[in-house]
Structure 1
Amino acid sequence: MADVEILGVDASIMKTATLCNVDYDEDVYIFLSLQFNTLPVVKTATEPLNPSELPKMVEGLRKISKSYPLAITKVKKSGEHTILGTSELYLDSVMKDLRELYSEMEVNVADPVLIL
């Protein structure tokens, strides 16, 4: 089996996608989007330690939204960036990836708040 890298589709995909060859001779079936029976109940606010790195953090949040199917990222009218998730542990994983993998920067995080 060969590894394949596909470039240029990142902007078109939000949470899930089906990719196939245009010249495929057999019937192609589009997979339905993933459906989850849970809602986000915990939220936290984030901001970069260095305010000049805000665009880098926003790009990291966009990647989080694509990588974590149950995470919801929002920007409030006040400019506050919030992340909603299913549990505090889930948000800890999201924040670890945001800091170390997607934005590679220090991020200040508010205490998680339970929303119902």
Structure 2
Amino acid sequence: MKTSTLYNEYYDKDVNIFRPRQFNTLPVVKTETEPLNPCVLPKMVEGLRKISKSYPLARTKVEEFGEHTILGTGELYLDSIMKDLRELYLEVEVKVDPVVSLCETVV
């Protein structure tokens, strides 16, 4: 996923598969998405799969309680993802809630 090698089938030399690109950044901003109309949930899941393929630093996953989350590297990156999800892949309205992780420590 997120990598490919294209070549002509009549190419007579050895073809090497490119390894996936390694990025120095990790997705740190997390949002929870759900459709406003629950009957379009399968269409949203398909749209999330397409987002995962087209954005190299985006990660989509389903949390343990069934929430669909999108992780990205920043707010602008997630805005671009949500714009494409709404306009290109789904064509329906989705509800987006930011997720803040809480970490505590005791000294």
TM-score range, shorter chain: 0.7 to 0.9
Unaligned runs of 5+ in 2: none
Report the AA paired with residue 44 of structure 1.
T
Aligned twin of 1:67: 54
Q: Paired residue for 1:110, among 71, 77, 97?
A: 97
TM-score by length of 1: 0.81
Alpha-carbon distance between aligned partners in 1 of 2:14 and 2:38, rounded to the nearest angstrom: 50
Deviation at 1:115, TM superposition (A): 7.9
Aligned twin of 1:99: 86
> CA 1:94/1:33 → structure 2, altered by over 3 Å: closer, same or farther?
same
* Identical residues among aligned pairs (%): 74
Unaligned runs of 5+ in 1: 1-13
Aligned twin of 2:31: 44
Report the AA paired with residue 21 of structure 2.
L
Count residues with an aligned counterpart.
103
> CA 1:112/1:104 → structure 2, altered by over 3 Å: closer, same or farther?
same
Report the AA paired with residue 81 of structure 1.
H
Q: Paired residue for 1:82, among 42, 66, 69?
A: 69
Q: Deviations over 1:14-52 (max 9, x none)?
A: 211112234421221221211100101100000001000
TM-score by length of 2: 0.88
Alpha-carbon distance between aligned partners in 1 of 2:100 and 2:3, rounded to the nearest angstrom: 28
Root-mean-square deviation (CA), in Å?
1.7
